[in-house]
Chain A
Amino acid sequence: MKKSILLLVFLILFVGNSGVEGAEWQGTDIYSETAIQYSTAEQFEAKTGKTIDQYNEAPEFAEMVKQGELPPIEQRLPDNPVVIEPAENIGLYGGTLKRVWKGPSDRWGVRKLFGERFVTGAPDRRVHPNVAESWEIVDQGKTYIFHLRKGLKWSDGHPVTADDAMFWWEVRNDKELDGIFGPPKSDFYINDQLCEWKKIDDYTFSVSFVAPHATFLEFIASEGKARMIMPKHYMEKFYPRYTPLKEVNKIVQKEGHDDWKKLMEAKWSWPDMNPNRPTITAWIPANEPSESFFIMKRNPYYWKIDSAGNQLPYIEKIAHEQVTDKEIMTMRVISGEVDFQNRHMSFDNYPLYMENREKGNYRVMNIPDIKLGESKTVIFINLNIQDQVKAEIFNNDQFRKALSLGINREVIIGMFFFGQAIPFQAAFPAETPFYDQEWAQAYIDYDPERANQMLDQIGLKWGDNKYRQYPDGSTLTVSIELTDGKDVNIYELVKDNWKDIGVNLQINTPERSLREERTEHGNFELAAWSFDTSDRPDLLGKHWSVSKNESGVHWGPLYNKWYRTGGKDGVEPPAEIARLNQIYMQLKSTPDFDQRKELMQEVIDFHKEHIFMIGMAGIPSDSTNSPGSIVIVDERLRNVKPWPIVGVLSRGAGISMIQQFYFEP
């Protein structure tokens, strides 16, 4: 990335570090041009020397205040509103932002765009205050004390307090509500002991673990993992612990639910089942999400302001048009009917988007993405394959390495990524602190000769039909599972390549749920997926471990099942693979970054040696033009800047802070 602007790097790195203790070790230095969020006006003033004298609000709210329908702006904002310094300019109020979605089942798209996290990640990969104004980590990292933003209000005007946090935790721990709200995610446990929550005062609560929890903040900053607050004043009306069951049942009957649990779920599910539930997001639903245009309007109680004191968001309405077909989405884009869209845009259509950008009056941003857009270019080899003959070969390191050497990556990259990617093993990407060059380049040269030698060595003899044979005399055929037939052409090339080393590749494109079913039961040979470990592979065990918190581990589906079922089902992993899980557990309680790096190095060394996953391409670390995540931005839309690579803490499109976008008239 552009490291030249050191001053800004410096600035961003120190934004919002109030009370950040023991969590100052994250990530590489990343420069970003996106808007900057300051936790309080005080911090903003201290950092920039500018001051905020007064608050302003959108014209429709000013009118409502005049009519007496809304309290004045000073009473709606918290004591310390969050200050966002816009990416370019102070914006103008108004306008409707149009985007497409697939309907209520696509609600994650809305949340990713402007959902508010309790604490939040930023382009610098650090955790910053958001709903929580600050926090303290005490007792050697065992206890986290969170300070809520005094005067922060739900969209119905009711204050957000520590009771809302305690209520969230209570509901999550109610056994009767398991499967709806609970049980708490594994990150609320350390050494199998659940953490303890305590209300300290109206705006303060603490979470205590039996041992230090190193990545608790990162966990709550990650997408959709823990929102930490629930509007008690609203939800308690449907909860028999707070409202007599008779009263609750009246509502249950009136609204036609089966019981109070279903009612709780319906009332909480936002926006699809209950668009009216109080929230703290910048926009709130104005109609039913199942309509063909789902409209969201500004939240009068939104708690962030720009650097001139204007209450955000600038844009008045967001209209999500329901479009079920991807091609129609493309059509909407090229005819200029979409103002801002990241979700559902695909890199394959890059040339098409570019060609029509003037006609459609939009520009195209390309955010580098570890997953190379949507392509699934990593081959996972199933070590748990049931066929004994095949299992023996698949578990042979040399076999897998030979397969890797037998792929001509340059050709694939030239043809499918417009030459913009580089050959890359299925390794942690260059953007993470855990990048290991040796792993990234292990067995990625196209060397069929060496591959053939290796296959000869493990005794796979050539048969009469131009392919090698398994030890039992059958043709050396391996089949790969693709999803929905998307990357078939990439694998056609691999098939040609592997023919030269005597391996017969068969390409299968099972329907999605069938594939899911086969993955679950380990009933496949090879699977194509992406190595989407994201920017912080140490936070999740994704793809590198078979931990019980993961699913769809394609190289060891039955090892994974063994952990998930507590040893009842699946296959017990050998010690070296079990060690990966130990590391995963250990990482949770290791705050020291050097130690974490050491642990991760062990993981890296293990995978480097065994190559369970064969990668094809990766993104170059110094390029802003690699295959990635496409963003369509209307030409009139301002304050939109490309953001650094997609990752766990960096929240994708949400990090560009859509709250501070505005339309140039």
Chain B
Amino acid sequence: MLNYIIKRFIYMIPTLLLISLVVFIVIQLPPGDWLTAYVASLRESGDEIDPITVELLRERYGFNQPFFTKYLNWISGVLQGDFGYSFGWRKPVGELIWDRLGLTLVVSVSTLLFTWIVSFAIGLYSATHQYSFGDYLATFLGFIGLATPNFMLALILMYLAYKYFGLSVSGLFSIQYAMAPWSWAKFVDLLKHLWIPIIVIGTAGTASLIRVLRANLLDELGKPYVVTARAKGLSYLRLLFKYPVRIALIPFVSTVGWTFAGLISGSVITGIVLNLPTTGPMLLQALKTQDMYLAGSFLLFLSIITVIGTLVSDLLLAIIDPRIRYE
């Protein structure tokens, strides 16, 4: 197994290098560069910048360099832990993303837990009570959750909160806690804000997992080994958890890989709508303003997480599903 893991890690290196190259190409595909976007946005808000200054800046930031020089500079920096410089924030990329990655992980992990717990419970109930009122209700809500875009749900929740409580529920902290050091009160404040993004980002994922679990479980429940076990007098619950659920769980685990990346990048629009200090809004802004090193580093990170996530899910699968071999 150790060999297998090492082998997988070695395979990762060329994959990631290739990804970084593609990412870097794609970021630079739009016309212009960060400076053009910057000048445009300045002009938009009525501010002016000297054309001479623009030229000097272009020179200094090295936008005139050929593509491969820029790429090599960046990637060799990345290998040494230097992710380059964000023009928009005027800070090294490294300093910027760690803060945000932390909060993003908080949001993502709690959302993932929420998704799993809710969908596991509902999926189990739906499958064991097929065609009951509860099943129909869960299915109905599930489909609505699946069909409603996250940001729409966020807007509706925000509207309701504003309409009935006069609050604009967004962000992760209230003003008095944002600056304070960590304390119990701050944690409670975080929880007060956290539930909305969790529900918003979680619903779509929950809905699909409910459907998957329900379908898989229904398949299993009709199989002869279940009937046999029942006939031999095994208690229903014990049987249920010992075999069918274990098999039905496989899709949960196999999605870990992309769920992680999806939770980080997929919450971009929700992050913006809810004004969360997470990576999503920063990534989008970086892409819009062609802040190439920031965007590139973000995308590279997401790729790393996806690749590692896939490995983790493969390993977990092997654990719960004895049919899988390391080959």
Contacts and interface: CB of A to CB of B under 8 A. Distances in A.
Interface of B: 30-33, 36-37, 39-54, 56-57, 59-60, 88-92, 96, 99, 158, 162, 166-168, 170-173, 175, 178-179, 272-273, 275, 277, 281, 285, 289-290
30 contacts: A96-B175, A108-B47, A178-B56, A223-B47, A256-B92, A272-B90, A286-B179, A290-B91, A290-B99, A291-B179, A293-B173, A322-B275, A324-B272, A324-B285, A327-B273, A512-B37, A513-B36, A513-B290, A514-B30, A516-B36, A516-B43, A517-B31, A517-B32, A517-B36, A532-B46, A549-B51, A551-B39, A551-B48, A551-B51, A551-B54
A564 B50 CA distance: 10
A272 B90 CA distance: 7
A186 B89 CA distance: 28
A317 B20 CA distance: 44
Which interface class (under 10, 10 to 19, 20 to 34, 35 or more) fits A? 35 or more
B90 A513 contact: no
Interface string A515-557: 1110010000000000010000000001000001111100000
A336 B168 CA distance: 9
A286 B289 CA distance: 28
Given A290-B91, A331-B158, A512-B37, A98 B168 contact: no
Given A293-B179, A343-B45, A328 B30 contact: no
Given A104-B90, A532-B46, A331 B30 contact: no
A371 to B, nearest CB: 7
Contacts of B290: 513
Contacts of B96: 290
Given A178-B56, A331-B170, A335-B167, A185 B272 contact: no
Given A293-B175, A328-B168, A513-B40, 14 more contacts: A98-B175, A178-B56, A272-B91, A291-B178, A325-B272, A327-B273, A331-B158, A331-B162, A335-B167, A335-B168, A359-B166, A512-B37, A516-B40, A564-B51
A371 B45 CA distance: 11
A179 B59 contact: yes
Given A335-B166, A516-B32, A371 B175 contact: no
Contact of B57 (A179, A336, A549): A179
Nearest to A182: B56
A513 B281 contact: no
Given A272-B89, A551-B39, A551-B54, A293 B178 contact: yes
A266 B95 CA distance: 14
* Most-contacted residue by chain B among A185, A323, A336, A548 (CB, 10 A): A323
A390 B90 CA distance: 43
B41 A512 contact: yes
A532 B47 CA distance: 11
A564 B55 CA distance: 11
Interface of A: 96, 98, 103-105, 108, 178-180, 183, 185-186, 223-224, 256, 266, 269, 272-273, 286-287, 290-293, 295, 319, 321-325, 327-328, 331-332, 334-337, 343, 359, 371, 483, 511-517, 520, 532, 542, 548-552, 564
Q: Which of B50, B88, B167 has the most CB of A within 10 A?
A: B50
A332 B39 contact: no
Nearest to A293: B178
Residue picked from A269, A483, A513, A520, most chain B C-beta under 10 Å: A513
Q: Which one of B39, B59, B173 has the highest number of Cβ atoms from chain A below 10 Å of its Cβ?
A: B39
Contacts of B54: 551
A524 to B, nearest CB: 13
Contacts of B41: 512
Nearest to B42: A108
Which 4 A-B pairs give the minimum distances between C-beta atoms? A179-B56, A513-B32, A335-B168, A516-B40
Contact of A292 (B56, B90, B171): B171
Given A272-B90, A290-B89, A324 B175 contact: no
A273 B60 contact: no
A292 B32 contact: no
A287 B179 contact: yes
A292 B50 contact: no
Nearest to B166: A335
Contacts of B42: 108
A516 B89 contact: no
Nearest to A334: B162
B39 A516 contact: yes
Contacts of A552: 43
Contacts of B57: 179
Contacts of B46: 371, 532
A549 B50 CA distance: 6
In the complex, which of the residues A290, A321, A322, A542 has the most CB atoms of chain B within 10 Å of its own CB atom? A290
A602 B43 CA distance: 27
Given A335-B162, A564-B51, A108 B45 contact: yes
Pick from B59, B92, B170 the residue with the most CB of A within 10 Å. Answer: B170
Contacts of B45: 108, 343
Given A287-B179, A513-B290, A292 B277 contact: yes
Contacts of A483: 40, 44
A45 B39 CA distance: 46
A292 B49 CA distance: 28
Contacts of B281: 324-325
Contacts of A96: 175
Given A514-B30, A552-B43, A269 B60 contact: no
Contacts of B92: 256
A181 to B, nearest CB: 10
